[in-house]
Amino acid sequence: MRQSKRVGVLTGGGDCPGLNAVISAIVKTAERDYDWEVIGFLDGYEGLIENRYVSLGLKDVSGIMALGGTILGSSNRANPFRFPVLQDEEYVYLDRSSQAVRNFEALGLEVLVAIGGDGTMAASAGMMEKGLPVIGVPKTIDNDLWGTDVTFGFDSALSVATEAIDRIHTTAQSHHRVMLVEVMGRYAGWVALGSGLAGGGDIILIPEIPYDIEAVCDRIKERNSRGKRFSIVVVGEGAKAIGGEMVVGHTVANSPDPIRLGGVSHQLAAQLEGLLNIECRVTILGHLLRGGSPTAFDRVLATRFGVEAMRQAVEGKSGEMMVLRGTDVTTIPIAEVAGKIRKVTADHPWVRTATSIGISLGYDSELPIEDAFE
């Protein structure tokens, strides 16, 4: 007869470095401090819907903190309310949320810890309305989750992107080229802004500031006139020209958000070559930013979130997402987070820092910064 209480855990949405550190912290805290069992669902909400899970003990999490990815697998197509099922070679979308609740109850779980981004939090808010107790843990390289100063995964992505920009610098200089480095981040420019700042980008283009091609050209020309015959342009994948649209790389039919951005830097490079008669090259960093070992910062943050989530579970709390405010881990209601995106704002200190050290953000510098933001 089972004595101990049980907590479920899943990782949803796009993966990022640090997910395993959260899982490890939950399992260790559950077993050592509270004598609770941990059930890990495979591939995000898909595992809960299809009843695919593993029991997680100390030996399963030994040494995983430094591993990228997630030992549980993830899915960004597993919306329980619109779950894709292949029927006669076509996808139909079914509401499987009640099945997920039944599976949760049959396993005798107290609460589910959902580690994910905005899609997972939105799904979790819906599942809570169906009576499923959920604790949220925010993750994403994009750093675009509402309510938290930072998400784990972001710092790791920044460090990979920064190293890439450093490497691009030397070859840009040798060949006197304009090098465009495109980074992920979806509709928010945090990865572009942070890595552009740290890597010494000359121009940083973010989705929040539609770029003025003339301002971009002017900065490159001005550098040339000072003998700087190369330029580094860091481009967020969601960047777009004034009056233009974001560039969609491809669409994923059965994903809750089917749009996958990518490729804006190829368009921009072709335009710059035409206007400036300078050789341009494009590097799209893509999923490199999501892979590999988490930084120390991300490991510590992810572990703190895991420990706190487990403490909340034992105290019988649910409905809240862990957040970092300053140096404190605290919580906000998941329902408050769902459906919102945290974007770069004109008053963010990184914006002022970038412009103060002479980085162009791709707008007419005569304009007040607030007017450049969309």
Looking at beta carbons only, is 261 or 372 nearer to ligand F6P?
261
Minimum CB–partner distance for residue 287 and ligand F6P (Å): 6
Looking at beta carbons only, is 17 or 126 nearer to ligand F6P?
17
Site for ligand F6P in 275-304 (CB under 6 A): 290
Q: From the candidates 15, 43, 118, 142, which is the catalytic residue?
A: 142
* Residue among 211, 198, 213 nearest 161 (CA): 198
Structure tokens at 212: 């003025």
Alpha-helical segments (H) within the chain: 19-29, 45-50, 58-61, 97-106, 118-129, 154-175, 190-199, 213-225, 264-276, 296-314, 334-337, 349-356, 369-372
Minimum CB–partner distance for residue 152 and ligand F6P (Å): 13
Site for ligand F6P in 136-195 (CB under 6 A): 140-142, 184-186
Q: Which residue type sits at 77?
A: R
Site for ligand F6P in 331-370 (CB under 6 A): none
Tell me the C-alpha distance between 218 and 224, whole Å.
Answer: 10
Please give the distance of CA 26 from its chain centroid, rounded to a whole number.
21
Minimum CB–partner distance for residue 185 and ligand F6P (Å): 5
Minimum CB–partner distance for residue 76 and ligand F6P (Å): 5
Q: Which of 7, 9, 12, 14 binds ligand F6P (CB under 6 A)?
A: 14
Told to judge if 155 belongs to the known catalytic residues of this protein, a careful annotator would answer: no
* Residue among 140, 133, 7 nearest 76 (CA): 140
Dihedral sign for Cα 332, 336, 338, 340, please.
Answer: negative
Q: Which of 20, 29, 75, 76 binds ligand F6P (CB under 6 A)?
A: 76
Tell me the C-alpha distance between 259 and 143, whole Å.
Answer: 18
DSSP label at 294? P
Angstrom distances, CA of residue 368 to CA of 31, 202, 213, 340, 371? 55, 20, 18, 26, 6
Looking at beta carbons only, is 14 or 306 nearer to ligand F6P?
14
**Does residue 25 belong to the site contacting ligand F6P (CB under 6 A)?**
no
Tell me the C-alpha distance between 1 and 23, whole Å.
Answer: 26
Looking at beta carbons only, is 172 or 192 nearer to ligand F6P?
192
Looking at beta carbons only, is 160 or 310 nearer to ligand F6P?
160
Spell out, one character per residue from 242 to 271, where the chain touches ligand F6P: x when CB under 6 A holds, - when not.
------------------xx----------
Tell me the C-alpha distance between 13 and 55, whole Å.
Answer: 21
Structure tokens at 238: 């969601």
Tell me the C-alpha distance between 132 and 262, whole Å.
Answer: 36
Minimum CB–partner distance for residue 340 and ligand F6P (Å): 15
Q: Give the total of residues touching ligand F6P (CB under 6 A).
A: 13
Tell me the C-alpha distance between 46 and 96, whole Å.
Answer: 10
User: Which residue number is nearest to ligand F6P in terms of Cβ?
Assistant: 184
Looking at beta carbons only, is 85 or 341 nearer to ligand F6P?
341
**Which residues sit at the interface with ligand F6P, rule CB under 6 A?**
14, 76, 117, 140-142, 184-186, 237, 260-261, 290
Catalytic residue positions? 142
